[in-house]
Structure 1
């Protein structure tokens, strides 16, 4: 009232001294505007009321500059087909995933700006919350064979109301992005974002449970009914290809979403969560199947599933802010719930890296296709692939402005016997970083990543049968070690 009264007094003085009605009106408007935008303290710091409404708004985001060494796509080491652009020389597709040539780029740069817009409104039925995170980035190597350029970046957009969540958010199979101590997205452990329709029930004392319907497209690793495309002929001569090595995906159309559920306990000491998922695997029958005259003449429907356990311990007795995070997962016909892609948005259907030579004997490395299900030549039907993953992360503060993150992870994929061009494979990773915070919300960090892809057979050209029943050769097997990493400068606001 005092400031409003002062405004009217100033307006009156202006009129008395002949400043004119326009100036007086401007003074009153300015005073009203000062009163109109108010801080919203009900939901924490940074919120303010949208003028004329009871909705609180918070703006945030970040600006980051990354330099990746032997890595692409947010520190993703080049060991899967979601990071295949690392294997192409600038301007032309010399070789696609998993082939590495002498012309492959040794480094990549990315600058990204992200804006987060969050609103909260208290209603008679509970709080309505929306979150939209989006931005744009510039890459020095945007796509295979494509020169540097900018592209839009979409991260998350969802609505929460009365326990319901609808939109693109963290999968309810994992604990969310808040629990990650490294800059890379690891290969062991689930980190997927997805389109969800979920309900969360709060039972008090930090106990909650969620049930979620989630888009199966983001979780479908693939269905392999034929051999992987060959990189070498039977005689061992290299076949140059810009598209790389892969297999024809016999995934049937989506008919059911994944059913995901979790039970979670949040306490002052940390978090404990158990989760599970059901995933339908629809597989088209290849022409090699009995009584099938064309692809898709019939189909197999299998039920894939996954279970997971997550726990985070807060360790202030070691140093303020110290934390330990453990995750374990098992999957049958739902491999994406193990991780295996190095990104929270895209799934991978192949692992490895092959340093090419003029012949297979002069090449080294590894390539293994992975799929939710693979064609079995003995049973003339599909069999699901299984796997498990275990990982640990530790964050330690050396001092309030200097911290480190350490990650160790291992994921194994088991392929049924007598299947088409597929073999067991595992991925081991170790990550370490050092991050300096010289000013509030400003991070300057470096990270080093060691990745190993290994399997049960040596790298070789192997005869296999295609989906039509014809004989072909596929390059599979082997092992490889990849060192990668980079540097990041990020300002959060």
Structure 2
């Protein structure tokens, strides 16, 4: 009985252009404001709160269900090929152009701080090099003590006999040292557009908080930063031969340590390492860009890929529909889960983020760091009775699942991650499990542009 939500939004655009001897000098500002309520996890946006763009309500009935949003969505200057300020990432292409909710997987960072230069090469070709803010592309580094805990016990040091002699903490909060570097090659023609994008993104965490004890066989140094990367290809084909205004988008992306560049968690956001895609789902998907090897103290990146297709069709000048779908996967380093299990077996952590001891039944069924997939399919119908007024409805189906094995069903067995239940599960006690979960969502929207 807790399945609906409501939202009101406002947007103001300010666009100033002056002709100069060097071309057009442009300044553009877009301000967003909104208020939304609804059931827990959907009435608010943890991602918007994380980056300081929204303010969550408090109180018994409002906490997690009420939010006010203010956002400087755009604030940039363009001059002689330069773009400076807050703008959409130059990596992005499709960016959910034909969708209401933006449910498909795919990169869509509408607001980031950047400095870019675009060279016009002629015949519709252009090339862009952009230096962009890395904060808006971050996904939490895996910390088994929870997403709100910046320090987690992740390093185990062993003596010459193979016995653990020290457990050290490492600060998993990411630092800002290098910007993201984005490059894009783009072609715009009457038939449509095509783009190839590439990006680099540094994963850079803090120091080990406590040093291993003296006499330990292995000394663990500073966790070295890792350079993640992503590539993307996109194609837009205009289809006036079907109906005026028709268009098809195709896009695919692959990333290593750069999950928000592939947009695998575009719908649920990445304010924590295991944000819920489906409210009250059977198990959570883990979106961490990397884990920390508990034996070496070094980062191990995860990889992800997404593919999306979207088609817009005009039945008449007043009626149009979009159909869209996407598929994506998140895969962790081969030894990441085993290493975490060894380390946290020594420490004895329990909870929904615990991997468990390798070889046990709980380890086989725990949800943490499991390779997973996500599938989305949807459609919309929009009526425009007068110019610049849209009244439409959109529905979409989302399925999440494990690529292999089964996981504890949090919906039907919510106490399974307690210490007592973990002991019972390892002893062969009963437990409810699942391999996938799904949900259908619908949204009605009325929009007026002026």
TM-score for the superposition, normalised by structure 2: 0.71
Match of 1:219 in 2: 137
Pick aligned residue for 1:490 from 437, 447, 450: 447
Q: Could you report, residue by residue, the CA deviation over 1:134-171 in whole angstroms, capped at 9, with x for unpaired residues?
A: 13223234536337564434321111111011111110
Select 2:228's aligned residue among 285, 304, 309.
304
Note if 1:163 corresponds to 2:81.
Answer: yes
Matched, 1:182 2:106: no
Cα RMSD (Å) of the superposition? 3.1
Match of 1:451 among 362, 375, 398: 398
Aligned counterpart for 1:272 among listed residues 171, 194, 215: 194
Q: Is contact 1:315–1:324 with CA below 8 Å preserved after alignment?
A: yes
**Which deviates further from its counterpart, 380-389 or 309-318?**
380-389
What displacement does 1:107 show? 1.2
1:353–1:366 Cα contact (<8 Å) kept = no
Distance 1:196 1:378, change over 3 A: same
Match of 1:413 in 2: 330
Aligned to 1:481: 438
Q: 2:6 aligns with which of 109, 118, 128?
A: 109
* Corresponding position: 1:402 with 2:319: yes
Measure, in 2, the Cα distance between the counterparts of 1:116 and 1:127: 18
Equivalences for residues 224-235 of structure 1 within 5 A: 224-226=142-144, 228=146
CA distance in 1 between counterparts of 2:36 and 2:271 reads 21
Contact 1:226–1:375 (8 Å) recurs in 2: no
Structure 1 unmatched runs, 5+:
1-101, 231-247, 357-363, 465-474
Matched, 1:428 2:375: yes
Q: Gapped runs of 5+ residues in structure 2?
A: 38-42, 45-55, 149-169, 341-354, 356-368, 409-415, 420-431
The question of whether the paired residues in 1 share the 8 Å contact of 2:192 and 2:238 is answered with yes
Question: Which has the greater radius of gyration?
Answer: 1
- For residues 370 and 201 of structure 1, the distance between their equivalents in structure 2, rounded to whole angstroms, comes to 35
Structure 2 equivalent of residue 391 of structure 1: 308
TM-score by length of 1: 0.65
- Equivalent position of 1:254 in the other structure: 176
Greater RCO (Cα-Cα under 8 Å, separation 6 or more): 1
TM-fit CA distance, 1:122: 0.9
Q: Deviations over 1:109-149 (max 9, x none)?
A: 11112110101011122211111111322323453633756
Question: Could you tell me which residue of structure 2 aligns to residue 122 of structure 1?
Answer: 19
Distance 1:210 1:344, change over 3 A: farther
Taking the aligned partners of 1:488 and 1:120, their CA distance within structure 2 comes to: 32
Instruction: Provide the aligned length of Structure 1 versus Structure 2.
Output: 353
CA contact (8 A) 2:94 2:249 kept: no
Displacement of 1:377 in angstroms is 4.0
